[in-house]
Amino acid sequence: METKRKVVVIGAGAVGSTFAYTLMQSGLAHDIVLVDADRARAEGEALDMNHGLFFAPPVEIRAGGYEECADASVVVVTAGARQKPGQTRLDLVSENVRICRQIVEAVGRHTEDAVILMVTNPVDVLTYFALKYSGLPRERVLGSGTVLDSARFRYLLSRHYKVDPRNVHAYIVGEHGDSEVALWSMAHIGGLPLKLYCAMCDSQIAPPDHDGILKEVRGSAYHVIESKGATYYAVSLALARIVGAILRDESSVLTVSTMLDELYGVRDISLSMPCVVDRSGVSRVLRADFTAQEVEGLRDSAKALRKVIDEVERQGEAPFRRRP
| Interface residues toward ligand NAD, by CB under 6 A | 10-16, 36-38, 41, 78-83, 92, 96, 99, 102-103, 119-121, 123, 144, 148, 176, 230-232, 235
Report how far residue 38's alpha carbon sits from residue 92's, in angstroms, rounded to the nearest whole number. Answer: 20
In 3D, which of 20, 87, 80, 10 has the Cα closest to residue 48?
20
Q: Which is nearer to ligand NAD, 182 or 235 (CB)?
A: 235
Catalytic option among 110, 169, 176, 210:
176
Per-residue b or e along 32-49, where b marks 16 or more CB atoms closer than 10 Å to that residue's CB: bbbbbeeeebbbbbbeeb
What 8-state DSSP symbol labels residue 174? Answer: B
Please, which residue, 205 or 224, has the CB nearer to ligand NAD? 224
Of 128 and 232, the one with the shorter C-beta distance to ligand NAD is: 232
Give min distance, CB of 16 to ligand NAD, in A. Answer: 6
Closest residue to bound ligand NAD by CB: 13
Report the residue number, 118 or 285, with the smaller CB distance to ligand NAD.
118
Residue count (the chain):
324
In single-letter form, the type of residue at position 138 comes to R
Active site residue 176: yes
Strand partners, 32: 7, 61
Cβ density class 102-124: b for 16+ within 10 Å, e for less: ebbeebbebbeebbbbbbbbbbb
In the complex, least distance from residue 96 CB atom to ligand NAD, rounded to whole angstroms: 6
In the chain, the N- to C-terminal Cα span, in Å, equals 34
What's the closest the beta carbon of residue 131 comes to ligand NAD, in angstroms?
16
* Distance in angstroms (rounded) separating the CA atoms of residues 35 and 12: 7
Residue with Cβ nearer ligand NAD (161 or 272): 272
Minimum Å distance from CB 320 to ligand NAD? Answer: 14
Task: Using DSSP, state whether 285 is helix, strand or coil.
Answer: strand
CA-to-CA separations, 169 to 119, 253, 254, in angstroms, rounded = 23, 11, 11
Query: Strand pairing of 141-143 and 115-118?
Result: parallel
CB-wise, 5 or 82, nearer to ligand NAD? 82
Q: Minimum distance between the CB of residue 295 and ligand NAD, rounded to whole angstroms?
A: 24
| Distance of closest approach, residue 221 Cβ to ligand NAD, in angstroms | 7
**Which CB, 39 or 169, lies closer to ligand NAD?**
39
Measuring CA to CA, how many Å separate 44 from each of 34, 36, 49? 10, 11, 9
Q: In the sheet where 252-254 sits, what is the strand order? A: 252-254, 275-278, 281-285
CB atoms within 10 A of CB 306: 16
Measured CA to CA, the distance from residue 19 to residue 120 in angstroms comes to 13
- Least distance between ligand NAD and beta carbon 183 (Å): 18
Give me the active site residues, please: 176
